[in-house]
Chains A and B, each alone.
Chain A
Amino acid sequence: MSADTASAASLEHLKRILGEVADLKHAEAVLDWDARVSMPPAGAEARAEVSATLTRNSHERFVADDVGELLGELDGLDTDPDSDEAALIRVTHRLWERTRRVPSELVGEMARANGVAVAAWDQAKAASDFASFAPHLERQLELKQRYIECFPEIETAYDVLLEDYEEGMTTTEVVTVFDRLKEELIELVERRREDSADDQLLRGPFPVVLQQEAGRRVLEAFGSDESTWRIDETPHPFASKPGVGDIRLTTHTDENDLTSLFSTMHEFGHGIYEYDVDSSYARTPLGAGASSALHESQSRTWENLVGRSPGFWRWFYPQLQTLFAETLGGVDEVSFVRGINAVRPGLIRGDADEVTYGLHIILRFELEQELLAGSVSVHDLPEIWKARMQDYLGVEVPDDARGVLQDMHWAVGLFGYFPTYQLGNVISVQIWERAVADLGNLDERFSRGEFSSLREWLREHVYRHGSKYPPRDLLRRVTGSDLDPDPYLRYLHAKFA
């Protein structure tokens, strides 16, 4: 057997194993989706066991020695570094090494801690009782420290966490971008303090079935179809792709506002990215979006850059007005678009507008670093939260439920995740400027209900590549530059200043 055919055999073998791992993850995704969408509540206990078994099996299969041996055999493989094969080997190798670093006992402890802490968080938030959640947060931080210690060669502790969501991104880099944003955003918020936009007109009532109809029309115009997509209602919207050709979105429709429409477009952005990944990457680690920030850049693109643009509403507002003739009959298009783009410093990240959103994230990013460094103790967290909300957004936090307890992320051990939201915003406009440079006036296309050229451009330049390129390389390929806050700031200034 020649070296080439031996390598080809190793590669086939590796792909077979990765396919099995992907199939188990497919099952995990369906179980998770079902638990949130369709499972009768009493099934939760048994489901937890089944999910844990699947997770353990996919983990064990992936970290097994034979995967390492195959990667070793393939290391010297003489392929074009730009080929799919080289990418598959590189991505798998990186993932395998990182996963092997963490002892399975620690993985198990973290999974259990998440289960316990999220239940405690639920109750603590309902009662606005931070003290009852504090020990769980301390436990999560302790586990994170142990996790960080698995990667002694990485100097900055927070870099270890970032690496899980944003390969190659450093804390220093994020700090540089966020410091710049912070200064400008605070100033912009200050200038918009007297925003005269009337967002009261968005208070409904908007009957749920009609909102769902509006969501369906938008999704259809964006390019989803019933043979591949579905959309359901859950308290917290999310997107899921169990496998190729199976894209599932959820939204939360509340009669009192129109936010479900925007969350539908947001989740569509996640969904379309996954949908358009090259199908030859299916059942391999290349078959998903490149990073959390890249993913978020696309959800924000479809939610904000498209979904809050004048062109989009020129097309869709007449339809919306017809659907909600009673509430919107007397509201003209211009007032409506100003209403959905009102800048209003508020308490809750999930409800924040495009301008203030970034400050919610920067606050969390700073606190995470301080908590890990020990310069802020869990005990003092609520007070510091309140003080900083005052500094950054000029709002007073009345209770912890609407303060430090509002997000689930820390309860489930997600530290290092928050910054990717804001990096997504930054990247979204970098890519957008490129798309506009290539395609010309998008607003005009949107006003005709034409979104396919944008979608096709994004498919060609971003989506189809899946995880083939590290996020930094992908960004360079698409935009010709590194992470850069200028386009995003330009966009905000042009739209809101």
Chain B
Amino acid sequence: MTEPKFDRLRERLAEVTDLSKAATLLFWDQRVMMPPGGSAARAEALSTLSTLAQERFVAADIGRLLEDLRGIEEGSEYESFESSLIRVTRRDYEKATRVPPDLVGEMSKAAALALSAWGPAKEESNFEALRPHLETHLELKHRYVECFDPPDETYDVLLDNYEPDMKTAEVREIFEQLKQQLVPLVQEIGEAGEVDDSFLRQSFDPESQREFALAILGRFGYTDDEWRLDQTSHPFQATPGYADIRLTSNFRPNDLTSLFATMHEFGHGLYERGVDSTLARTPLGSGVSLGLHESQSRTWENLVGRSRSFWRFFYPRLQESFSDQLRSVDEEQFYRAINRVHPSLIRIDADEVTYNMHIILRFELEQELIEGRLAVKDLPAAWNERMAAYLDVEVPNDAQGVLQDMHWAGGGFGYFPTYSLGNVISLQIWERVQEELGDLDQGFERGEFDSLREWLQEHLYVLGRKFTPQETIERVTGSRIDAKPYVRYLREKLAPQPA
């Protein structure tokens, strides 16, 4: 393609991408490397960078280029790089230019203030300290929603930031199915008796855990040339540049959960690593949505990392690394312990089944808040009531209840549902992989994960943001989003076997 206007658009977009990649690195550095004394200066630098990237993107000449390139878009194959780049950029551009910079500024300032209030509020279990911030957020969200054409439901506009084109009604339908199936499943499992997982809460040397996690990742496809793994209190993944994939995990001395967190972050990293190199330095060069992203982190954490065949290979090795702690625990006991289903208070500690109930609860409350059916001051009571109804647990205080997550403090309304959508999508893709590759367990038992990784790479990761999330799911699985495979999986794996 030698259309000068297209080349100019690419150049402009490359610059915007570079600026946001620089911001990504600064964000990573702040959490992993920066001495704490640097935070004030870092906040300034990050704000300047994000503002600059935003200004460069919403510039009028990008709008003109997009108009001038309509012919090229329509004259090229839908799947072509050119058409996809123009199409996706236009969608991003139209969305970005709807929101006045002042409002963007107000929202990010409100988030910064609320996040710094959230820490102490959680510490002291004092919801009242966060309440005014949440009220401000909701006000700002209403102003944000008003920037767009009237939606079917207000929540649609928020959801669209994380799962573009997904409608609230569709999510509700999927979550209703999950709720109907999972509430009784949790009960059945509870009635079948307790699984002993106490041996998972012994002392495990963090450095040995890290070595073991790296041994797993090495089998998955992690190389020192392109990846790194660091320690932070909240695990995350960042991609500050093409072929530069950074994971963090929290290796704690008293349990083995960091192994799963590491595999989870690896899934995010692998998706980013697999995006086609020709999409680098364009808006197409990353995973397509949070739901799709989460489907991949959950694939590597749960579908691979909590499977029997995976541990057939790794458990003897784990026993060797932690022989004092695990000598008398056999593989089956271990497998059952890491897959124990047990209702609990904290989302991030939840098992594969109850996790979704935590999400559904948040999804419902978010809608009620945004629609004004629930006042912020009544939120803690509503939370506690629903925890009792869905999971039969009593919330002793707000720190372990409504204050546990930072998402709302950060203004992230509409984010939570993508976690469960990710679970749902992960199984749709997984069933498809199995149809094409047959039995994956044999490979896993030998510590081989290449065929899975390559399939995902070729069918999903490579696409980046060329297609919408819905189009992407359909291309990969042949169907629309569908909860059935996921429910089937949970039942088969975790429902009590009749004696």
Contact = CB atoms under 8 A, between A and B. Distances in A.
A50 B26 contact: no
A43 B242 contact: yes
Nearest to B241: A46
A246 interface: yes
Contacts of B38: 228, 242-246
A440 B35 CA distance: 35
Contacts of B346: none
Contacts of B49: 23-24, 27
A47 B45 contact: no
A347 B488 CA distance: 73
Contacts of B479: none
B108 interface: no
Given A27-B26, A42-B226, A46-B280, A242 B41 contact: yes
Interface in B116-169: none
Given A50-B22, A243-B42, A245-B39, A19 B48 contact: yes
B401 to A, nearest CB: 33
29 contacts: A19-B48, A20-B48, A23-B45, A23-B48, A24-B49, A24-B52, A30-B25, A34-B29, A37-B33, A40-B224, A40-B245, A42-B225, A42-B226, A43-B243, A43-B244, A47-B241, A47-B244, A49-B14, A49-B18, A50-B240, A50-B241, A226-B35, A242-B42, A242-B45, A244-B40, A245-B35, A245-B40, A247-B35, A283-B41
Contacts of B29: 30, 34
B280 A227 contact: no
A246 B47 CA distance: 17
Interface in A397-449: none
B25 A246 contact: no
Given A40-B225, A243-B41, A245-B38, A24 B244 contact: no
B45 A42 contact: no
The main secondary structure of chain A at its interface with chain B is helix
B486 interface: no
A57 B40 CA distance: 22
Interface residues of A, number: 39
Interface in B225-242: 225-228, 240-242
A230 interface: yes
Given A38-B228, A47-B241, A245 B41 contact: yes
A39 B244 contact: yes
A228 B35 contact: yes
B324 to A, nearest CB: 26
B34 interface: yes
B48 A246 contact: no
A31 interface: yes
A54 interface: yes
Contacts of B44: 19, 23, 26, 243, 283
Contacts of A96: none
Interface residues of B, number: 41
B281 interface: yes
B80 to A, nearest CB: 24
Given A39-B244, A46-B243, A57 B52 contact: yes
B225 A230 contact: no
B15 interface: yes
A65 to B, nearest CB: 18
Interface of A: 19-20, 23-24, 26-27, 30-31, 34, 37-43, 45-47, 49-50, 52-54, 57, 226-230, 242-248, 282-283
B242 A45 contact: yes
A441 to B, nearest CB: 33
Most buried by B among A30, A41, A229: A30
Given A227-B35, A230-B35, A245-B38, A53 B19 contact: yes
Most buried by A among B42, B44, B241, B281: B241
B21 interface: yes
Given A23-B47, A43-B243, A49-B281, 18 more contacts: A23-B45, A27-B26, A30-B25, A30-B45, A34-B25, A34-B29, A40-B228, A41-B225, A42-B225, A47-B241, A50-B21, A226-B35, A227-B36, A228-B36, A230-B35, A243-B44, A244-B41, A246-B35
A-B pairs with lowest CB-CB distance, top 7: A243-B41, A246-B38, A43-B244, A245-B37, A46-B241, A23-B48, A53-B18
Contacts of A244: 37-38, 40-41
Nearest to A20: B48
A165 B246 CA distance: 37
A27 B244 contact: no
A24 to B, nearest CB: 7
Nearest to B19: A53
Contacts of B14: 49, 53
B49 to A, nearest CB: 6
A82 to B, nearest CB: 27
A39 B48 CA distance: 23
A442 to B, nearest CB: 28
Nearest to A27: B22
Contacts of A45: 242-243
Contacts of A50: 18, 21-22, 25, 240-241
Given A24-B48, A34-B29, A228-B37, A246 B241 contact: no
A31 B25 contact: yes
B33 A38 contact: yes
